[in-house]
Amino acid sequence: MQSNVNDLYTIYGHIGSPYSMKMRAVMRYRRIPHVWKDGALGIESAKAQVKVPVIPIFKYPDGNFHNDSTPLIYDLEERHPNGRSIIPDRESDAFLAFLIEDLADELLSKAMYHYRWFDKRHVKQISEWIGFDMFEGSGRENIETFAETFRERQMSRLAFVGSSEHNRPMLEHISNLFLDTLESHVPDRWFLFGSRPSMAEFGLFGQLSQYHNDLAIVDHARQRAPYTFRWILHFHDLSGFEGEWRPNSEPLPDIIEKLLKIAGEFYFPFLIANAAAADAGQKEFSFEAGGMPYTQGVFKYQVKCLATLRQAYADLNDSAKNELGNLLEKTGCLIFLQ
Ligand SMILES: N[C@@H](CCC(=O)N[C@@H](CS)C(=O)NCC(=O)O)C(=O)O
């Protein structure tokens, strides 16, 4: 007997969307029954059901539509306490997983977007691929018409998300830092907080999944971080994986400190400059980090990210704060969280 699709979650997304890949991987790992829909018509009708029209969009079995990946992850945790949580048990690790996921969603995403849309030589192919995905075989003309409008729109947003010649050194440096950091870890261990994945790895995976698609980065990433490049492919489907959170006797791996250093050096200064400019009613903000300049339009969503991170830190109990104190201080994150 065929199962009824209305009893399942429907994910509206596409394979060229980092957050869609992230959330599909979460659903597969968590073994939550779902279907995947990537056609243009479904996506457009789903967009009409949510406040901010970004993908992926989930239709729940109760018929309601939801999006924004991080709140979705937390909501699914509550709805499906099935032993395959992606939030570490230990409070301090849960905070770190949240912080690293946010770092991937909001900073690594800038590098991903940069490599996808900045280099005009590659933009034609990726926009046609996304058209190909969206139209599921309804002819070259449809694909190419869509691709042209879509790439114009995405490229017009470049300055808004921070991709420019001026910001290029920092974005490419950040991308290399993520690749090198993962490459120093994944040959020994696939996960960050034990032998099972947390929301942090899914966040990193989502953005990096696109490095397989984009000509401007594919060769570089594959050469610079070969095991990481392969690791990405495994994350698409971890449904058969069984593992445990790290026991108390096991220290955090070095990769956590390296990722937090990226946050302390680049992500928090970015968030602070954005929030300060928003406060002052400015349209644009600038900051410098690692000796490199950066300028972009003020982004309201990321004002909220900073507030949420600070709140999550404030909500930690004293023993979690004590456990994290040293690490957050030496990576330059603590002053921004307090
Ligand atoms: N904060 C959202 C961001 C999702 C997002 O930015 N999605 C992009 C594509 S990956 C999007 O839908 N952009 C608008 C569009 O392509 O129409 C999340 O975590 O899900």
Residue 272 has phi, psi (to 5 degrees) of: -65, -45
Question: Which atom of ligand 1 is found nearest the CA of 55?
Answer: 12
Residues with CB under 6 A from ligand 1: 17-19, 54-55, 67-70, 105
Q: What is the pLDDT of residues 181-209, one digit of tens each?
A: 999 999 999 999 999 999 999 999 999 99
CA–CA dist 54, 96 (Å, integer):
26
d(CA 113, ligand 1 centre) in Å? 11
Which atom of ligand 1 is nearest to 20's Cα? 10
pLDDT confidence of residue 91: 98
Nearest CA to ligand 1 atom 5: 54
- C-beta separation of 115 from 214 below 8 A: yes
**Atom in ligand 1 nearest the alpha carbon of residue 16:** 10
Which pTM does this prediction carry?
A: 0.96
pLDDT tens digits for range 271-310: 999 999 999 999 999 999 999 999 999 999 999 999 999 9
- Residue 241 CA to residue 261 CA, distance in Å, equals 29
Q: How far is the CA of 262 from the centre of ligand 1 (A)?
A: 23
- Give me the half-sphere count of Cα atoms (radius 13 Å) on the Cβ side of residue 327: 21
Q: Which of 24, 29, 85, 27 has its CA nearest to residue 56?
A: 24
pLDDT higher at 43 or 157:
43
Q: How confident is the model at residue 5 (pLDDT cuts 50, 70, 90)?
A: confident
Q: Is the model's pLDDT at 1 over the cut of 70?
A: no
Tell me if 284 sits within 8 A of 296, measured CB to CB.
yes
Find the mean pLDDT for residues 74-89: 97
Which mutation among 12, 19, 65, 204 tests ligand 1's pocket best, with the greatest number of atoms within 8 A of CB? 19
pLDDT band at 87 (very low <50, low <70, confident <90, very high): very high
Dump pLDDT digits (tens) for 104-163.
999 999 999 999 998 887 899 999 999 999 888 889 999 999 999 999 998 888 888 899
Position 68 scores a pLDDT of: 97
Confidence category of residue 2, pLDDT binned at 50, 70, 90: low
For ligand 1, atom 13, name the residue with the nearest CA. Answer: 54
Measured distance CA(130)–CA(14) in Å, rounded: 8
Report the CATH number of the 6-79 domain. 3.40.30.10
More confident residue, 97 or 1: 97
Domain residue ranges in the chain: 6-79, 91-118+163-337, 122-160
Which of 329, 232, 271 has its CA nearest to residue 102?
A: 271
Q: For the chain, first and last CA: distance in Å?
A: 56
- Secondary structure (DSSP) of 140-179: HHHHHHHHHHHHHHHHHTHHHHT-STTTHHHHHHHHHHHH
Q: Please give the average per-residue pLDDT across 25-45, as a whole number.
A: 95
Asked if residue 4 has pLDDT above 90, the reply is no
Residues 147 and 127 sit within 8 Å (Cβ to Cβ): yes
* 229 Cα to the center of ligand 1, angstroms: 23
Q: Which atom of ligand 1 is nearest to the CA of 23?
A: 20
Q: Calculate the average pLDDT of the chain.
A: 96
Tell whether the model's pLDDT for residue 3 goes beyond 90.
no
